Structure 1
Amino acid sequence: MPLSIFGFQALWSPYLMGLITFIIIIYFLMTAKWRQDFKVSEPLKKSEAISFLIAMVSIYIIKGSPIDLMAHIMFTMHMVQMAVLLLFIPIFLIKGIPWWVWKVVIETPVVRVIFKIWTKPIVSTLVFIGLFSIYHLPSVLDFIKLNETLHGIYTFILFVSAVFMYWPLIQKMPNQEQMKPLYKLGYIIANAVLITPACALIIFASSAMYETYTNGEAWLKAMELCVPASTLSGLSLSGPELFTDMKPVEDQQLGGVLMKIIQEIIFGVLIASIFTKWYRSEQKDPDKITADALKAHQAKLELERQHQV
């Protein structure tokens, strides 16, 4: 059965398109025309503008195009949507917003406290993995997908936690401590390992676990998240099997596999990028690096000698 039966609004989300267009306009006004209103600012870099546009276009593709509709029909597309939303887009969003705009946001009294706590590597990792894992418990996912408000709130919180998770890796704020390359590599590997149990639960399940992808009544109710109720009421639908030949358990397992593969690809690219930059920085001036290391070692010995005296 063709997806066109759900109508233009469900397929292309014109309201989301309008919202994203508005955000892009505000972004360029803020970083160009209104830049002088900031106490500290720099000209917008081309790389920042491109990164921000990639983030915005990606959000529309996975939440406003037919992909979002398919994510409510097939669990496979749901997991692809989650992978892009949580593991791909935050990277470009953080890079796309200039540091001096982030500075204004972070220095807001309430936000400052939140960032100080929730961007600590251990905290941000545990919170993100915890929220992701809880969300994909069958009882939780089925419950959330039946309430549009709850689904929107939880998805937003999950996305924000992904931004916090990536922040220690990507942020380049002046006067903020930068994570050392070796620690970054360990941090990425830890995230990859910790997300594995949630994916394994989905991949190795012997039967389909989610009512909103198997039970016709629950599935139809969950479809109201992206299809107007008035449109659904005029259709005669029994379940997702009308749109796919894949068995529910196969759909579920493929979704878990694709989530893990996409995660490994993204994390692999990050590891390669960090390692390459680290190697190049080490090769730029080996004599200076050696001298700095010796100086630090001598300072440590001197400090130990003073304690002994």
Structure 2
Amino acid sequence: MSIDIFGFRALWSPFYFTALVLITVGYFMMVTKFRDRFQNSSPVSLKQVIYFLLAMVLLYVVKGSPIDLLSHIMFSAHMFQMALLYLVIPPLFIIAIPKWVWRFVLEVRGVKSLFHFFTKPLFALMLFNILFSLYHIPLVFDFIKTGMLVHAGYTVILFTTAVLMWFPLVNQLPEHESLSGVKKVAYIFGSGILMTPACALIIFADSPMYDTFTNAESWASAMELCVPATALSGLTLSGPEMFNGLPLLEDQQLGGVLMKVIQEIVLGYVLGVIFFEWFKKENGGGSEIDPIPSEFQTVK
């Protein structure tokens, strides 16, 4: 059965799209018209603008497009969504925000000390991976997926801790640099290792683990998070198998594989960038870690 039966609002999230457009407009106003209100501000680079727009497009793709609806129907879509949301989007945002904005925020009373504490490399790495692993314990997963406020809150917390985890690796502020080249390599390997147990549990399970993808009643409760009640009221649904052609166990295993493969691709790419930047630094170049190392003109 086609997911079109859930309606335009469930498929394309127009209110979420509007919110992202307003945030994008706010970003451009801040880095252009209101830039002079920030101390030691400078023109934002075209590279940063591209990163910000890419991050916003990906945010809409994973949380506003039909992928978000599919993430409540197919476990593999859920894991693909999480991989982009926590492994790809945070480093783009960190680099897209100008240094002078970061400095302005970190000078706010109380923020600097808290931020310094939560971005300590080992702590930030452990915090995100513990929360990620807890999320995928079946009892916790099913509880979060069936509560609107709990699901929204945990998603925000996970995204925030993902930003904190990525900050020591791609941060552009020299005064907040906490990892050297060799330590960054160790950090990347540590990140890959810490996510492995949760992915392995999902991949090698001998039966489907989550009620919200196997139990019709739990699944219906989970669907209420992304489908308006008016769209659900006239439908008779027996479960996600109505829309998912994959057997439940294979869909679950595919989800674990997708998460791990995307993580390895992202971390492998960043590892290559770190070696590139190390080589450039040793030969008298800069030392900023940038997922796409290239030079662009500035935007006035």
* Paired residues for 1:1-309 under 5 Å: 1-284=1-284
**How many positions carry a matched residue from both structures?**
285
Superposed CA offset, 1:189-208 (max 9, x none): 10101110010000000000
AA at the equivalent of 1:26:
G
AA at the equivalent of 1:238:
S
Work out the CA distance in 2 between the residues paired with 1:116 and 1:246: 45
Secondary structure in 1 aligned to 2:44? Answer: coil
Q: C-alpha displacement at 1:110, in angstroms? A: 3.0
Work out the CA distance in 2 between the residues paired with 1:232 and 1:77: 21
Secondary structure in 1 aligned to 2:255? Answer: helix
Work out the CA distance in 1 between the residues paired with 2:121 and 2:255: 28
Q: C-alpha displacement at 1:19, in angstroms? A: 0.3
Q: C-alpha displacement at 1:103, in angstroms? A: 1.1
Superposed CA RMSD in Å reads: 1.1
Secondary structure in 2 aligned to 1:72? Answer: coil
- Work out whether residues 207 and 249 of structure 2, in 8 Å CA contact, stay in contact via their aligned partners in 1: yes
- Work out whether residues 171 and 177 of structure 2, in 8 Å CA contact, stay in contact via their aligned partners in 1: no
Work out the CA distance in 2 between the residues paired with 1:243 and 1:177: 48
Work out the CA distance in 2 between the residues paired with 1:248 and 1:106: 46
AA at the equivalent of 2:96:
G
- Work out whether residues 121 and 178 of structure 2, in 8 Å CA contact, stay in contact via their aligned partners in 1: no
Work out the CA distance in 2 between the residues paired with 1:174 and 1:280: 17
Work out the CA distance in 2 between the residues paired with 1:177 and 1:256: 33
Structure 2: which 5+ residue stretches go unaligned? 286-300
- Work out whether residues 12 and 64 of structure 1, in 8 Å CA contact, stay in contact via their aligned partners in 2: yes
Higher Rg? 1
Work out the CA distance in 2 between the residues paired with 1:173 and 1:283: 21
Superposed CA offset, 1:112-163 (max 9, x none): 2221111000000010000000001000010011100110000000000000
Work out the CA distance in 2 between the residues paired with 1:136 and 1:204: 14
4+ runs deviating over 3 angstroms: none
- Work out whether residues 168 and 177 of structure 2, in 8 Å CA contact, stay in contact via their aligned partners in 1: no
Structure 1: which 5+ residue stretches go unaligned? 286-309
Work out the CA distance in 2 between the residues paired with 1:85 and 1:79: 10
C-alpha change, 1:174 and 1:185, in structure 2 (3 Å) is: closer
TM-score, normalised by the number of residues in structure 1:
0.90
Higher helix proportion (structure 1 or 2): 1
Secondary structure in 2 aligned to 1:253? Answer: helix
Once the two structures are overlaid, the 10-residue window that deviates more, 254-263 or 272-281, is 272-281
Query: Matched residues, percent identical?
Result: 51
Q: C-alpha displacement at 1:281, in angstroms? A: 2.1
Structure with higher RCO (Cα < 8 A, 6+ apart): 2
Work out the CA distance in 1 between the residues paired with 2:54 and 2:238: 37
Secondary structure in 2 aligned to 1:73? Answer: coil
Work out the CA distance in 2 between the residues paired with 1:169 and 1:81: 22
